Structure 1
Amino acid sequence: MWNLARAAWNLGRARHLPLSNALHSPFQERVLSLISYRGLSTLETSANEGVISPELLGKKVLRPDRIIGQYEDLVTRVTNFHNEDKGFMVLAGDVFDVPIRKDIVHKVVRWQLAKRQQGTHSTKTISEVSGTGRKPYNQKGTGRARHGTLRGPQFRGGATMHGPKPRSHAIKLQKKVRRLGLKIALSARTGEGKLLVFEDLDIPSHKTKNIVNYISQMENTKKVLLVDGGPINDNLKFATGNLHYVNVLPSIGLNVYSILQHDTLVMTQDAVNRIVERMHTPINR
Structure 2
Amino acid sequence: MWNLARVAWNLRQSRRLSFAIPPSISATQIDPSFFKRGLPFTTCKGFSTLETQESGGLIPSELLTKKTVLRPDRDIGQYADLVTRVTNFHGEDKGFMVLAGDVFDVPIRKDIIHRVVRWQLAKRQQGTHSTKTISEVSGTGRKPYRQKGTGRARHGTLRGPQFRHGAIMHGPKPRSHAIKLQKKVRRLGLKIALSARTAEGKLIVFEDLALPSHKTKNIVNYVTQMENTKKVLLVDGGPIDDKLKLATRNLHYVNVLPSIGLNVYSILLHDVLVMTQDAVNRIVERMHTPINR
TM-score bracket for the superposition, by shorter chain length:
0.7 to 0.9
Matches within 5 A, 1:42-57: none
Structure 1 residues 164 and 64, CA gap change in structure 2 (3 angstroms) = closer
Which portions of structure 1, spanning 4 or more consecutive aligned residues, are displaced by more than 3 angstroms?
none
Report deviation, 1:64.
7.2
Report deviation, 1:108.
0.1
SS class of match (2:79): coil
| Paired position in structure 2 for 1:271 | 279
- Is 2:107 the partner of 1:99? yes
Report deviation, 1:219.
2.3
> Greater CA radius of gyration, 1 or 2?
2
- Is 2:80 the partner of 1:86? no
Aligned counterparts of 2:91 and 2:227: Cα–Cα separation in 1: 12
| Paired position in structure 2 for 1:146 | 154
Matching residue's letter, 1:183: K
- Is 2:82 the partner of 1:66? no
SS class of match (1:106): helix
Segments of structure 2 that go 5 or more residues without pairing to the other structure are: 1-70
Matches within 5 A, 1:1-285: 65-285=73-293
TM score, norm. by length of structure 2:
0.75
Report deviation, 1:277.
0.2
Segments of structure 1 that go 5 or more residues without pairing to the other structure are: 1-62
Structure 1 residues 64 and 127, CA gap change in structure 2 (3 angstroms) = closer
Question: Identity across aligned pairs (percent)?
Answer: 91
Report deviation, 1:130.
1.1
Aligned counterparts of 1:208 and 1:151: Cα–Cα separation in 2: 58
Deviations 1:180-201 (A, max 9, x none): 0000000000000000000000
Deviations 1:80-123 (A, max 9, x none): 01111001000000000000000000000000000000000000
TM score, norm. by length of structure 1:
0.77
- RMSD (CA atoms): 1.0
Count of aligned pairs = 223
Give the structure, 1 or 2, with the largest relative contact order (CA under 8 Å, sep 6 or more): 1
Aligned counterparts of 2:273 and 2:185: Cα–Cα separation in 1: 22
Aligned counterparts of 2:259 and 2:196: Cα–Cα separation in 1: 18
Matching residue's letter, 1:122: S
Aligned counterparts of 1:149 and 1:238: Cα–Cα separation in 2: 59
Deviations 1:186-219 (A, max 9, x none): 0000000000000000111111111101111122
